[in-house]
A and B are shown apart, each in its own frame.
Chain A
Amino acid sequence: MTARNNILDKLRTGLAGSTPRPDDFDESLVTQPWQYTPEDRIQRLRALMEAVHTEVHQLPARDWPGMVQTLLERRALGNLLYAPGTDYGEQLAAHWQASGAAPDLIAYDRPVEEWREELFWKVDASVTSTVGAIAATGSLVLWPDRQEPRLMSLLPPLHIALLKASDIEDNLYGMMQKQQWSAGMPTNLLMVSGPSKTADIEQVLAYGAHGPKELVVLILEDL
């Protein structure tokens, strides 16, 4: 613990006799420039996400499982990773059964250690929920948990995210306040603003660096 004490002692010596600076955080600076009407909010989110190669669809909430099926079939993908313990997971499974959709449904239902190889290399696509989105920056907010593990939105080449239209907030500050993030953070909270990309070679933009090559957002309109 000497390193700890030495560091803290040096810092305290440096501050001796001074008082902490006041908290003059002005929330208007991060909210006022980023406010939208309900229609603009969705439009902005779409525009920003599409600008970074995200495919966005708006559809009635009940239609999404069919849309997922279409997206997979259009790409001739063989399987889809999903979270069986969630409401939407049940809806998806029900649809799959009813429609006889071809791609295999893979349930994320065991610890990563038990199927690392398969998860890293064999999964074609995944579908996850989101807890909302931020119009100002075109970002989805993901709150992974027991039912919906964090690798779901990272490993598969195609990630399909479900977003309720009513969960779109204007800006990050508003989102934090509304969902009271500081009252209890999950182990891993994520903001995702498009498919994985890099510009490390000559600043040429290339998608699909290490994470998903494609991101599809389904904006579900509540009826």
Chain B
Amino acid sequence: MNQRIPVTELTGGFRDRADQALDDSQLRSNFRTAMDSLMKKRADAFPDEDEREGLREQGNHIKARALSKLPDLLEQLEARLTENGVKVHWAETTDEANRIVHSIIESRQGSQVVKGKSMVSEEMEMNDYLAERGVECLESDMGEYIVQLDHEKPSHIIMPAIHKNRRQVSKLFHDKLGVEETDDVDRLIRIGRETLRQKFMEADVGVSGVNFAIAETGTLLLVENEGNGRMSTTAPPVHVAVTGIEKVVENLRDVVPLLSLLTRSALGQAITTYVNMISGPRKADELDGPEEVHLVLLDNGRTGAFADAQMRQTLNCIRCGACMNHCPVYTRVGGHTYGEVYPGPIGKIVTPHMVGLHQVPDHPSASSLCGACGEVCPVKIPIPELLQRLRQENVKHPDEAPAVKDGGAKYSARERAIWWFWKTLNTRPVFYRLFLWGATRFGWMTPKNVGPWTRNHSAPVPARRSLHDLAREHLDNGGQS
């Protein structure tokens, strides 16, 4: 029986998907529990506020410095890596990146790929691309493996299977791998370990992402806890790393604070179990390690974000996931509601540059601008400010040359008119007081149903007298009553 395990499949636009996700009490409780725990872990990992804030500032400056000389650093990285024996490739689009990866696999007559966790490969939808060309591409991170088995996408960038509980995973393993059902997480992990070890041994090519690419030394740094990243980059004869162009930092020492910020913000860990620094393929006399190492540098809209100094800050991101862990919207609707690779606050500000606002018109609006994301971001990306900026671009008239791909996706003459009316009201005291006069006199006529507001609230009935009115009377009488 290949019955699907009970996880809501979300369809439609953001609001439809959100509605379905909100109705799934299991999903909501899975997320709430997980996010609460991740928030606590982060808080515990930064007991000293001054230390934390100093480090965040430093992280911000390191990333800003790298971005301020990004083209030079990319060239330096390429030169160092080439000296070290790593082949560097450049791709403007995900399609181009897939073609590069596929041609590397073909050059080795490969048919099996094993993957360490990589969000960029998710952007590329590499698994599907390679599968269509007869190459099996297996995820090896436990969470990624679980979602791949269930033909899903990750719902969190650090914890891909966070939306599932152990019962759901057990059922999945039972259905897909024919093993007995169990509630024992250790047992479930052992099943994954044994299944995947065979694949690590057989794979022709290992694919991984990159956490930091160090220009100074030509080093690719990867963090992980499971060891699947080391396996993917060490065991197969070829290692292909795929990464966004924004991952480059200038000096090796720059990764010291960034690493600390990354692991503490993401999981509350002082450090991950493995920090894997790869600076080249196996040397002639070495006994293991890949014979070839490739790096694919992907643009996919990043240069678009880079072009604008304000939105360039989006590229500070080190993909820790803290913004989603702390986001009251993400916590309630989960990662799949966003419908794209990167969910949560960072997803809302990075995705429009990748796929355009036509595809994600609700992304900028799906925030109460509460500011929790900006408050925890380890590299101080002003996420609420960038959301506000994207809203501007989203409602622009196409003639106003929006600065984001498909800007103006939410342009509406009607809404414009409403805001024009609002502006007129609020800039002319006479009109405003006339409005107050009417609203307070006829407030009782407020209909029971005033659109989306009354879905969650009673009708908003204005007071009988405005503050303008009360204050004037009070102050005219000399105050002090």
| A residues lining the B interface (CB < 8 Å) | 1, 3-4, 6-8, 10-15, 18-27, 29-30, 33, 48, 52, 108-112, 116-117, 120-121, 136-139, 145-146, 149-151, 154, 171-173, 176, 181-182, 185-204, 206, 208-212
Contact = CB atoms under 8 A, between A and B. Distances in A.
Interface of B: 30, 34, 37-38, 48, 51, 54-55, 58, 61-62, 64-65, 68-72, 74-75, 90-92, 96, 140-143, 146, 159-162, 164-166, 169, 185-186, 188-190, 192-193, 196-197, 200-201, 216-219, 225-228, 230-231, 234-235, 245, 250-254, 256-257, 259-260, 267, 270-283, 285-289, 297, 299, 303, 306-308, 312
Contacts of B250: 23
A185 B279 contact: yes
Contacts of A202: 30, 34, 165-166, 185
Nearest to A191: B275
A206 B306 contact: no
A182 B228 contact: no
Given A24-B61, A120-B201, A182-B251, A208 B193 contact: yes
Given A172-B256, A197-B226, A210 B143 contact: no
Nearest to B275: A191
27 contacts: A1-B90, A3-B90, A7-B74, A7-B92, A7-B245, A7-B303, A11-B70, A14-B303, A23-B250, A33-B51, A136-B270, A149-B288, A151-B235, A182-B252, A186-B279, A188-B289, A193-B271, A194-B273, A198-B143, A198-B189, A199-B267, A200-B146, A201-B169, A206-B186, A209-B227, A211-B226, A212-B227
Given A11-B306, A25-B58, A200-B160, A138 B270 contact: yes
Nearest to B74: A8
Contacts of A138: 270-271
A149 B286 contact: yes
Nearest to A1: B90
A195 B273 contact: yes
Given A185-B217, A201-B165, 11 more contacts: A1-B90, A14-B303, A22-B65, A26-B58, A112-B288, A187-B278, A188-B234, A198-B225, A203-B37, A209-B227, A210-B200
B225 A185 contact: no
Contacts of B74: 7-8, 11
A201 B227 CA distance: 16
A10 B307 contact: yes
B142 A187 contact: no
B75 A7 contact: no
A182 B407 CA distance: 44
B90 A7 contact: yes
Contact of A196 (B161, B225, B256, B308): B225
Contact of A190 (B69, B71, B275): B275
A198 B226 contact: yes
Nearest to A197: B225
Contacts of B62: 25
B256 A30 contact: yes
Contacts of A139: 271, 275
Contacts of A108: 287
